[in-house]
């Protein structure tokens, strides 16, 4: 097990599939240390971009994160002016109630990632956002390997974990699961 600052081992999922130094895009980065899906990755030499709507959090993150952090509304921003690449190894997507609009606004047709953790909060908001995310990512040729990952605090489905089979080793299919807690997805994989 790797050290973690993620709420539910999302950083460990990325590291288990993509060892070494890679790139990340952290959309909805929030507090860039506590509960962060990319803080440990950065400490291990990964590079990337942090994005959040909250300017106070962005300014705070700039004091202890070495990677660029941008304040913007991801439901309507112009991604072509923000993104530094068209490929990222890991995408962390966590924008709570803005998920559907943010997914609609994200240029999945122009930007690729190898691994992603995308929060849908179906336990709290129902299945509509989750189903929409799955439809969009499946249409862009991503495979959901861990559906409805359960929160560690209430064992409710809140997130899906995705891979790009064209660029990720087939061994990552060992994480194929439904309705499991993150630790069970990662450490009791087939």
pLDDT values of the chain reduced to their tens digit, one per residue, 190 residues: 788 999 999 999 999 999 889 999 999 999 989 999 999 999 999 999 999 999 999 999 999 999 999 999 999 999 999 999 999 999 999 999 999 999 999 999 999 999 999 999 999 999 999 999 999 999 999 999 999 999 988 899 999 999 998 999 877 888 888 999 998 998 776 5
Please give the Cα distance from 61 to 85 (Å, whole number): 21
By C-alpha distance, which of 44, 48, 30, 37 is closest to 5?
Answer: 37
What is the three-class DSSP state of 149? strand
Domains and CATH numbers, the chain: 10-187 (3.40.50.150)
Using a cut of 0.85, tell me whether the model's pTM lies above it: yes
Q: 47-52 and 157-163 as β-strands: parallel, antiparallel, unpaired?
A: unpaired
**Any residues with CB less than 8 A from the CB of 49 and at least 6 apart, and which?**
24, 25, 26, 67, 68, 69, 70, 82, 83, 84
Instruction: Retrieve residue 172's tokens.
Output: 């990552």
What are the tens digits of pLDDT across the range 143-178? 999 999 999 888 999 999 999 989 998 778 888 889
What are the tens digits of pLDDT across the range 47-62? 999 999 999 999 999 9
Q: Read off φ and ψ for residue 188, nearest 5 degrees.
A: -125, 30
């Amino acid at each position: 097990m790797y050290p973690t600052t993620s709420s539910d081992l999302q950083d460990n999922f990325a590291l288990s599939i993509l060892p070494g130094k890679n790139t990340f895009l952290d959309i909805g980065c929030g507090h860039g240390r506590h509960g962060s899906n990319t803080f440990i990755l950065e400490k291990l030499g990964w590079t990337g971009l942090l994005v959040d709507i909250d300017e106070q959090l962005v300014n705070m993150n700039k004091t202890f994160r070495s990677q660029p952090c941008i304040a913007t509304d991801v439901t309507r921003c112009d991604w072509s002016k923000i993104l530094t690449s068209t490929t990222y190894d890991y995408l962390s997507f966590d924008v709570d109630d803005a998920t559907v609009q943010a997914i609609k606004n994200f240029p999945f047709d122009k930007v690729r990632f190898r691994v992603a953790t995308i929060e849908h909060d179906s336990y709290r908001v129902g299945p509509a956002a989750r189903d929409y995310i799955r439809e969009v990512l499946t249409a862009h040729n991503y495979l959901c390997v861990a559906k409805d990952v359960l929160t560690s605090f209430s064992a409710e489905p809140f997130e899906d974990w995705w891979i790009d089979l064209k660029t990720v080793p087939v061994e990552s299919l060992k994480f194929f699961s439904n309705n499991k807690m993150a630790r069970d997805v990662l450490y009791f994989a087939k």
